[in-house]
Chains A and B, each alone.
Chain A
Amino acid sequence: MEELIFDLLEHRGISGDEGGIARYCENRLKIFSDNVKINFNNNVVAVLGNENADYTFLLDAHIDRIGFIVTEIDDSGFIKVDKVGGVDLRTILDAPVTVHAKEDLNGIVCCMPPHLSDGNEDKAVSIDNVWIDVGLPAEKVKGAVSLGDSVTIFSKPKELINNRISSAGLDNMAGVCSLLKVAEKLSRKKINSRVIILLSCQEETFATGAKTVPFSYKIDECICVDVSFASQPDINDQYSRIKLGEGPILCVSPNLNKDIFNKLKTTADKLNQDCQFEICNGRTGTNADHIVVNKSGIKTAVISIPEKNMHTQAEIIDMNDIDKTAELISEYILCGGVK
């Protein structure tokens, strides 16, 4: 399996601590563009195509992931945390974590062994009771860890069968990976438009990147790339028809632009490529919710990569879907979008 997605997953940045992943992406993008910048919030912006063109595409994917933030260190060196983004507390007890302190410290989320069960096995832990043990003397912990340090939940990125991979943080390294592939594809072509790739910060909290970066540019249309739900047990709504490996999910929503949606669909047909559909009744839960209302309004679409077990260490995606997403977006841009 190709290394890019595994390299991306190595750099774990929760919302507000995207420096490492942003610098990695900056270096990747520099292979394909001479105009790459990181701003003070660790938003990465790369400009491709014809910089002086009068038509501009914005392609957005968020680079942050969910995690924890340190709120307290007790006398014994245990570290108390709160959530950053929608961490699923059903998966947290005994989870391997990394405290990104002066140096990275690996730890475990404290839990009771079954021998001493409190009888609350049916119930997920409350965030008020989440503590981390890094297995070091208290003075070492206090010397290394500061309040506000970020904590990521660790699961070793791994291959499953059928070209699938599982890891924490595939939301949204799957999207970022697609856009890096788009950059590579477009860099080999002559494009008449300007293409801005935005790898945006803080989507999992307040969408700060999506709200602020587009303000600096005159943008004609935008595609946001994120992950969305694929079928798994106990899902009985529309997502029960979304399958891994059956192509990107195009979103239909009153807030989104129908011309881009239709053109994406036609482009997929032209590529003889499968795609799937999700229907939202307004907000999409992605950066698009903020980009559509930027300045005087931006025509926006959302393309999602099907994912299982979202917001857990066990997120699963199919690499084929990343490739198909990249192919669809590249072809769409080469066809001129909805200019």
Chain B
Amino acid sequence: MNNLDLLKKLCTANGISGDEDSVREIIINEIRDYVNEYKIDNLGNIIAFKKGRNKAVKRLMVSAHMDEVGFIVTDITSDGLIKFDTVGGIDRRVILGRSVLIGGKINGVAGVKPTHLCDADEGSKIPEINSMYIDIGADTKEDAEKFVSLGDSITFEAMYEDNGYSIKSKAIDDRAGCFMLIQMIKSELEYDAYFTFVVQEEVGLHGAKVASYSVDPDFSIVLESTTAADIPEVSDSKQVCNVENGAVIGYIDKRTLYDKGMINRAVSLAEKNNIKLQFKRSVAGGNDAGVIHESREGVRTIAISLPCRYLHSQLSLIYKSDLDETYNLACMLASDVAGGKL
């Protein structure tokens, strides 16, 4: 796909759930000249409408979420250390020793008692979140309070690398979805469509819930990054999906039974156009489809996902070929759906 500089810009922007402002700003700057109208709703979602060459037969909403997982400052200790809680699901094993950014500007690192001073049990144990802390270099509470406030957002330090085959970055979930949505908006559409860049997916799908109410679509396509666990020592059935095997769709996850008509259409489009498509091999995860398909009287919904390794940590990994396959399938399905072919 072209314009991967934009993907980098999106992924390295900081926006945990409830603090998506800087991501929203990037997106609005990208799309404002390509949409017929857009608005920002009460929760901070971007709801955009773009006319196609033809009037839509069915109202379609294509959605991706802007937020990423991270942390929030809960306390500052007397010795100047920052206590935090997670925002979104983060495994405790990927936190200690990490570099973070507090409030978008202050460097910090998640402290670890040196292994030399631990007994055997302590040295191999991952502490509870409430025993972890971030060190910004302060020695006292007063010192730290000059730089950090309670409630400040904390993100993993941004890193991004494209080695020609794959991309390693922070926040691919779901800036890759936002990226594909922007590319769709910049392309010429066959039919009118609504595009929603939603907030707070990682903390209860709140953005998508109200956006789908406002748009009131007949159909919805959610563009997500989904967990690929195709790594050593994970049995095939538990790998869910594989990188380099193309776009991912599932019949079911932890929140949604997906629309069979849309699935069948996606499969036939993929076959006809030689697009790589794979099915999720286990029931795992959930995404904005969980609330969109239950909106109002119900919305026919599918999620088209990008296989992504190491979700919800500082560095995730996707293959560039999968980005193309996922984008191409999403564009074709969007056109068929809005054109009333289902």
Q: Say yes or no: A162 contacts B98, CB within 8 Å.
A: no
Taking CB atoms, residues of chain B closer than 8 Å to A121 are 91-93, 126
* Bound CA span A113–B123, Å: 23
* Bound CA span A110–B233, Å: 10
Q: Say yes or no: B143 contacts A314, CB within 8 Å.
A: no
Identify which of B116, B123, B311 contacts A115 (C-beta below 8 A): B311
Q: Say yes or no: A160 contacts B108, CB within 8 Å.
A: yes
Q: Say yes or no: B113 contacts A233, CB within 8 Å.
A: yes
**Least Cβ distance of A282 to chain B in Å?**
15
Q: Say yes or no: B111 contacts A314, CB within 8 Å.
A: yes
A226-280 residues at the B interface, CB under 8 angstroms: 229, 232-235, 237, 239, 243-245
* Bound CA span A114–B231, Å: 15
Q: Say yes or no: B125 contacts A122, CB within 8 Å.
A: yes
Knowing A96-B315, A116-B284, A160-B137, the reply to whether A78 touches B108 (Cβ < 8 A) is no
Identify which of A122, A161, A229 contacts B126 (C-beta below 8 A): A122
Q: Say yes or no: B314 contacts A96, CB within 8 Å.
A: yes
Taking CB atoms, residues of chain B closer than 8 Å to A122 are 92, 125-126
Knowing A161-B147, A235-B117, the reply to whether A93 touches B165 (Cβ < 8 A) is no
B102-133 residues at the A interface, CB under 8 angstroms: 106-117, 123-126, 131, 133
Identify which of B98, B135, B143, B234 contacts A308 (C-beta below 8 A): B135
**Least Cβ distance of A188 to chain B in Å?**
31
* Bound CA span A245–B315, Å: 33
A110-166 residues at the B interface, CB under 8 angstroms: 110-117, 121-125, 129, 131, 133-137, 140, 155-156, 158-164, 166
B234-265 residues at the A interface, CB under 8 angstroms: 234, 238, 240
**Least Cβ distance of A52 to chain B in Å?**
42
A137's nearest neighbour on chain B, judged by CB, is B165
Asked whether B309 is an interface residue with its Cβ less than 8 Å from the other chain, the reply is: yes
Asked whether B168 is an interface residue with its Cβ less than 8 Å from the other chain, the reply is: yes
Taking CB atoms, residues of chain A closer than 8 Å to B89 are 114-115
Interface-side segment among B32-40, B156-164, B191-199, B334-342: B156-164
Asked whether A303 is an interface residue with its Cβ less than 8 Å from the other chain, the reply is: no
Taking CB atoms, residues of chain A closer than 8 Å to B161 are 106
Asked whether A212 is an interface residue with its Cβ less than 8 Å from the other chain, the reply is: no
Knowing A122-B126, A229-B117, the reply to whether A110 touches B232 (Cβ < 8 A) is yes
* Bound CA span A105–B165, Å: 12
Taking CB atoms, residues of chain A closer than 8 Å to B189 are none
Asked whether B313 is an interface residue with its Cβ less than 8 Å from the other chain, the reply is: yes
Q: How many chain A residues touch B (Cβ–Cβ < 8 Å)?
A: 67
Q: Say yes or no: B227 contacts A313, CB within 8 Å.
A: no
Contact residues on B (Cβ < 8 Å of other chain), bracket = 35 or more
* Bound CA span A156–B314, Å: 13
Asked whether A310 is an interface residue with its Cβ less than 8 Å from the other chain, the reply is: yes
Taking CB atoms, residues of chain A closer than 8 Å to B94 are 93-94, 111
Identify which of B99, B131, B313 contacts A156 (C-beta below 8 A): B99
Taking CB atoms, residues of chain B closer than 8 Å to A243 are 139
Taking CB atoms, residues of chain A closer than 8 Å to B125 are 90, 122-124
Q: Say yes or no: B115 contacts A111, CB within 8 Å.
A: no
Q: Say yes or no: A161 contacts B143, CB within 8 Å.
A: yes
Q: Say yes or no: A91 contacts B112, CB within 8 Å.
A: yes
Q: Say yes or no: B138 contacts A161, CB within 8 Å.
A: yes
Q: Say yes or no: A90 contacts B124, CB within 8 Å.
A: yes
A237's nearest neighbour on chain B, judged by CB, is B117
Q: Say yes or no: B233 contacts A131, CB within 8 Å.
A: yes
Chain A window 292-318, contacts with chain B (Cβ cutoff 8 Å), 1 for yes, 0 for no: 000000000000000011111110100
Knowing A96-B315, A115-B285, A161-B106, the reply to whether A108 touches B168 (Cβ < 8 A) is yes
**Least Cβ distance of B224 to chain A in Å?**
12
B158's nearest neighbour on chain A, judged by CB, is A156
Q: Say yes or no: B93 contacts A313, CB within 8 Å.
A: no
Taking CB atoms, residues of chain A closer than 8 Å to B231 are 78, 110, 112, 131, 133
**Least Cβ distance of B149 to chain A in Å?**
15
Taking CB atoms, residues of chain B closer than 8 Å to A140 are 165
B148's nearest neighbour on chain A, judged by CB, is A161
Q: Say yes or no: A90 contacts B116, CB within 8 Å.
A: no
**Least Cβ distance of B287 to chain A in Å?**
11
A66-99 residues at the B interface, CB under 8 angstroms: 74, 76, 78, 80, 86, 88-91, 93-96
Asked whether A285 is an interface residue with its Cβ less than 8 Å from the other chain, the reply is: yes
* Bound CA span A80–B126, Å: 23
B95's nearest neighbour on chain A, judged by CB, is A91
Taking CB atoms, residues of chain A closer than 8 Å to B234 are 112
Knowing A124-B93, A233-B81, A310-B114, the reply to whether A161 touches B137 (Cβ < 8 A) is yes
Identify which of A78, A90, A106 contacts B168 (C-beta below 8 A): A106
Knowing A90-B96, A161-B136, the reply to whether A116 touches B147 (Cβ < 8 A) is no
Chain B window 289-306, contacts with chain A (Cβ cutoff 8 Å), 1 for yes, 0 for no: 000000000000000000
Asked whether B310 is an interface residue with its Cβ less than 8 Å from the other chain, the reply is: yes
* Bound CA span A137–B117, Å: 41
Listed in ascending order, the chain A residues whose CB lies under 8 Å from chain B are: 74, 76, 78, 80, 86, 88-91, 93-96, 105-108, 110-117, 121-125, 129, 131, 133-137, 140, 155-156, 158-164, 166, 229, 232-235, 237, 239, 243-245, 285, 308-314, 316
Listed in ascending order, the chain B residues whose CB lies under 8 Å from chain A are: 81, 89-94, 96-99, 106-117, 123-126, 131, 133, 135-139, 143, 147, 157, 159, 161, 163, 165-168, 227, 229-234, 238, 240, 284-285, 309-315, 317, 319
Question: Which 10 A-B pairs rank lowest in CB-CB distance, beginning with the nearest?
Answer: A160-B137, A91-B97, A135-B166, A314-B109, A164-B137, A94-B313, A113-B311, A310-B114, A161-B137, A312-B97
Task: Given contact pairs A90-B126, A229-B114, enumerate 9 new A-B contacts (beta carbons under 8 Å).
Answer: A88-B112, A111-B93, A112-B91, A115-B227, A115-B312, A123-B125, A162-B138, A237-B117, A311-B115
Pairs A–B under 8 Å by Cβ, sample size 13: A88-B114, A90-B125, A94-B313, A108-B315, A135-B163, A135-B317, A155-B99, A156-B159, A308-B111, A308-B135, A309-B112, A313-B109, A314-B111
